[in-house]
Amino acid sequence: MSIRERIRNHTGESGIDFGYRTVVVRTPRTSGRVHVRLVVVAVSFLVAAAVLAVVAIGIGDYPLNPWQITRAIFGDPETRFHRIVVVEWRMPVAISAVVFGALLGIGGAVFQSMTRNPLGSPDIIGFDAGSYTAVTLCMLAFGATAYWDVAFAAIIGGIITAGIVFLLARKNRKVESFRLIIVGIGVSATLGSLNSYLITRADVEDAMMVGFWSAGSINRVTWNSLVPVLVLAVVVLAGVALLAPSLRQMELGDDAATTQGINVERTRLLLMVFGVATTALVTAAAGPISFIALVAPQLARRIAGTPGVTVLGAAAVGAALLTFAHFLSLVIAQFYRSIPVGLLTVSVGGIYMIWLLIREARVQYGTPK
C-alpha cells in the first residue's frame, strides 16, 4: 500500500493523520469526519442492549420463550394473556432500560466534557441529589406522585442545584473543574443529610414510599410514565446534538472556544439544562440510578479509542450497562429475591470510582500508573 493510500485510509483526502481511522462525510451545507471505530463500538453496544432487553422480557415468574414473545407482540388472538404480560407489563420496562441508560450516559458525557474531568458526573457533583431532594419535598409536603409533578420537581431541583454548584465553584469568572467537583460533593452530602431528615420526620407510609422510590427501580415503569420520557428525550437529544460541536470546542478551554465564535456562557447554560434534564427524567420515572453516568462515558472512550468522551459512545454504553443490570437483577430474582437496578449499579460503580480516584491521584502526584 502506498503512502498516499495510507493517508486516504486514515483521513479521507487530507494529509492530516488523526491517529485513528475516519471517514469524511459531506453534504451541500456542511462536512465532517466520522470516527469509524466509535460508530462500530456504538452500534455493537446498542445491538447488545436490544438483545438483552428482548431476552429480559422472557424472564420472570411467568417465563416465556422467544416464540411466545413474538406471537404476543404481533397480536396472536390465542395469546391474549401472553400479550398482557409482554406488551403491557414487561415491554415498557425493557424499553426503559435502554432509553434510561442512554440518557444517563449522555448526561455523564455532557458534564464530564464541560468539566474536563472523569469525575464530573451528575451523580458525583450533586445534581442527582438536587433532583432527589426536590422529589422528596414534592412527595412528602404536597403528596404529589403523578409523573409530570415528579418530573417537573426533579428538573427544577437539578437545575437549581447545578446553578448553586457552578456559582460556588466560580473563581475569577471561570469554573475550575477540580473546584466544581469538590463543591459538588459537599452540596451532595448536605442534600443527603436534608433528605434523611425529611424522611425521619415523615409518616411511616410516606417514608416507605420515598424509600422504595429512592432505591432506583425500573420495574415499576409503565407506558403512562414511559411515553412522557420518550417525548421529552427526543427534545433533549436534539438539543444535545445541536450543541455537541460547541461542546467539543469548549473542551479546548473558554478562551479558545470564544476565539472560535462560541458564546461560552450561553452554551454552558444550555448544556447544563439539557444535561440535568437527562438525569432528572430518569429520576422522575425510576428514582435515582447512580454511576451509569459516571462509568459509561469513560468506558466508551477507552473501548472506542477516542481522544475524549463522546455523546454517541456514552449513550450506547450507558444503554448496554443499564440493560445488563436489569437482566442481572431478573436472573438474581429467580434464585433469591428481586433487587432494584439502582443497588446493582451503585455496587459496581463504587468499585469503579475507587479505582478512578486512585488513578487520578497517581496522575496528579506523578506516581507511576
How confident is the model over 304-359, as pLDDT tens digits? 888 888 899 999 999 999 999 999 999 888 888 778 888 888 877 777 767 766 77
Say whether 173 sits in a helix, a strand or coil: coil
pLDDT over 70 at 28, yes or no: no
**Distance from the Cα of residue 199 to its chain's centroid:** 27
Q: Going by C-beta distance under 8 Å and a sequence separation of 6 or more, which residues neighbour residue 211?
A: 199
Q: What's the CA gap between 129 and 287, in Å, rounded?
A: 11
Confidence label for 43 from pLDDT (cuts 50, 70 and 90): very high
Smallest Cα–Cα separation from 322: which of 24, 10, 97, 57? 97
CB 138 within 8 A of CB 198: no
Dihedral sign from CA coordinates of 64, 68, 71, 76: negative
Under CATH, which number does the domain 3-365 receive?
1.10.3470.10
Cα(first)–Cα(last) distance of the chain, in Å?
37
pTM: 0.83
How confident is the model over 116-159, as pLDDT tens digits? 878 778 877 777 888 888 888 888 877 777 777 887 888 888 88
Q: For 148-179, b where at least 16 C-beta lie within 10 A, e where not — what string? A: ebbbbbbbbbbbbbbeebbebbeeeeebbbeb
Bridge partners for 32 per DSSP: 25
* Residue-level pLDDT at 24: 56
**CA dist 46 → 59, 268, 317, 362 (Å):** 20, 28, 7, 34
More confident residue, 85 or 11: 85
Which of 19-23, 45-49, 238-242, 286-290 is predicted least confidently? 19-23
Say whether 202 sits in a helix, a strand or coil: coil
How confident is the model over 253-298, as pLDDT tens digits? 777 777 877 777 788 888 888 888 898 888 888 888 888 888 899 8
* Residue-level pLDDT at 7: 43
Q: What's the CA gap between 21 and 33, in Å, rounded?
A: 10
Residue 116 per-residue DSSP state: T
Residue 26 host element (H or E) = strand 22-26
Amino acid (one-letter) located at 132:
Y
**Distance from the Cα of residue 238 to its chain's centroid:** 15
DSSP H helices, the chain, are 3-11, 36-57, 66-73, 80-83, 91-115, 127-142, 147-169, 177-201, 204-214, 223-250, 254-259, 264-286, 292-304, 311-335, 341-365
Neighbour tally for 124: CB within 10 Å: 27
CB 49 within 8 A of CB 320: yes
